[in-house]
A and B are shown apart, each in its own frame.
Chain A
Amino acid sequence: MNSGVVPISNFQLALSVILVVIAGGISAALRLGLLKSLAWGTVRTFIQLTFIGYVLKYVFSANNLWLIFVIIVVMCFIAARASVRRTPNVPRYPVTLAFWSLLASTVLVGFIVVRVIINPVPWYSARIVIPIFGMILGNSMNGIALSLDRLYGESYARAGEIEALLAFGATPWEAIRGCVHDAMRAGMTPTINSLMVVGLVSLPGMMTGQILGGADPHEAVRYQIVVMLMISAAVAIGCLLLVGFSYKRLFTPDGALREEIFKSRQ
C-alpha cells in the first residue's frame, strides 16, 4: 500500500508560520523573552532545511561513497561542537574528543544497521545511509552531552570523596568510577525511557515520515524498531568512549585530582 507523499505547496508551507505565531504569542503574553529566538529559529529552519533538501537531492542522485563519507564526517563535527556547547559544567573541552567518540560510535552502529540489517543495493545508498547516520548522530550528541556534563558535575560535587580514594591508593579510574557510572546512566537514561514509551505516547519521527510518505505501517514499524535499538547502542558506545577519553583529563600526570575541580562549583 504505497499511495505516495501528499505534496505541500509553497503557500501551504507559508501557512505553517501560523504555528510559530501561536508559539510567539504565548512567549509575548507570558513575557518569556523568546520571541527573537523563535523568529530567528524559524528563519533558520526554513533556510537550513531548504538548503539541505537541495543538497540531499544532489547527493542521492550522485550516490558517491566518498561524498557520503565526507558528509558524515562533517555532520559528526557539527554534532560534536553542538554537544560540547551544551555542557555548562565543562570548561574548555576539546571538540576533537567529542568528534572521535561520535564518529566511532556512529560509524560502528551505522555500518551494522546499513550493511547487515537493511543491506540496500548498493550498501552505501545515500538515501539509506544519510538518514540513518543522521538519526544516530542526533540522538548520540544529546546523550554524550548529558554524560559529559554529569561526569564533570559529579566530580565537582564529590571531589572530597575522589581525593579520599586516591589517598588510599586508588587509581584514577577506581577513584572516579562512581562518577563515571552516574555519567553513563545520565547519558543513556533518556534513550532507555524512549524505548519504554515508544508508540504509546507518540509515533516516532522516522515511522511518521514513512507513513506520511505512503509506506505500509508494518514496514514502517520494522524500520522504527531497528532505529530505536540502533540509537540505544550508539548512545551507549558514544557515552562510553567520551567518558573514557574524558575522565583522565580530571587528573594530573601524577594521578592527583586537578585543582580546577576543587575550585569549580556549579
Chain B
Amino acid sequence: MENLLKIDNIRFTIGVNTGRVEVSGLLEEGGVLNICGPSGSGKTTLLRILAKLKETGGGSVFLQGKPWTDFSPSGWHRKVYYLAQKPAIFDGTVEENLKKPFELAAVKTDLRFDLDRAARLMERLYLPQELLTRDARTLSGGESSRVALVRALLVEPSVLLLDEPLAALDRTAASAVIELIAEWLEETGGRGAALVSHTGDIGGLSCCSILDLGGKEGDLSE
C-alpha cells in the first residue's frame, strides 16, 4: 500500500507548556491510523496540526510524498479534512448546513452539492430525510455528529481526520458510522482516515497503524 500521509517529527506542547511531544507516523492509502491516549495527551492537538488549523513547533507532513509547505492553506484543507468532536453547526436548516462548504470558492470550483447523495448518506447513518428541513441547532449531539460526517464526505477529501467520531453515538449509530467510513475508504484510491479515540477501540475498522500518545514525552511511534 502507498503512503498517503507521512507525519515526520511533528513537535508540539501540551497543557500550558507542561509537556513536549514529538510524533512520527504513517497513514497508508485505504488505511486507518488510530491515534489514542488519555485525556490531555495531545490527540486533538495533533489532529489540528495535521489539518493545519494549529501551528506546529517543528516537523513536516507529507501528502502522497508532497510536503505540506507545497500546498496553499485552502489547498491543504481541501485534501485533509478535520472533523471536530463537537462539530460546528451553522444557523439554518440541516440542508443549508450540508450546503455550507459549497459556498466556498475552493469547493465550488470542482464540486456541486448533490442532494441525492446527501440523502443516501444520511439514510446510511439512520438520519431520516425529513431532517433536511429541520433547524440544525435543534439536533441532538449524536445527530449533529452524523450530519457533520455526511457534510465531510460530501466535500470528498483525501484524508479524514476524525476527532472522537463515535463519542456522541449509541451502538447502532456507531456501527453505521464505522461501516460508512470503511466503505468510503474502499470506494476509491487515495483515501485514508486518522481517528482519535480514548481507548483505541473503534469497532469494526481494521486499523493499519496505531499512534499511542500515552501521555509520554519524546518520540512516539507505531
Contact = CB atoms under 8 A, between A and B. Distances in A.
Given A169-B106, A171-B105, A163 B53 contact: yes
Interface string B81-103: 11110111010000000001101
Contacts of A259: 54
Contact of A166 (B77, B100, B107): B77
A169 B88 CA distance: 15
Interface residues of B, number: 26
A168 to B, nearest CB: 4
Contacts of A161: 88, 90
A165 B78 CA distance: 11
A167 B77 CA distance: 5
Nearest to B69: A254
Contacts of A257: 53
Interface in B138-155: 155
B129 interface: no
B63 interface: no
Nearest to A160: B88
A169 B84 contact: no
A128 B75 CA distance: 53
A174 interface: yes
A207 to B, nearest CB: 42
A171 B76 CA distance: 11
Given A254-B55, A254-B73, A256-B55, A170 B104 contact: yes
Interface string A235-266: 00000000000000000101111010000000
Interface of A: 160-161, 163-171, 174, 252, 254-257, 259
Given A256-B55, A259-B54, 4 more contacts: A161-B90, A168-B77, A168-B101, A171-B74
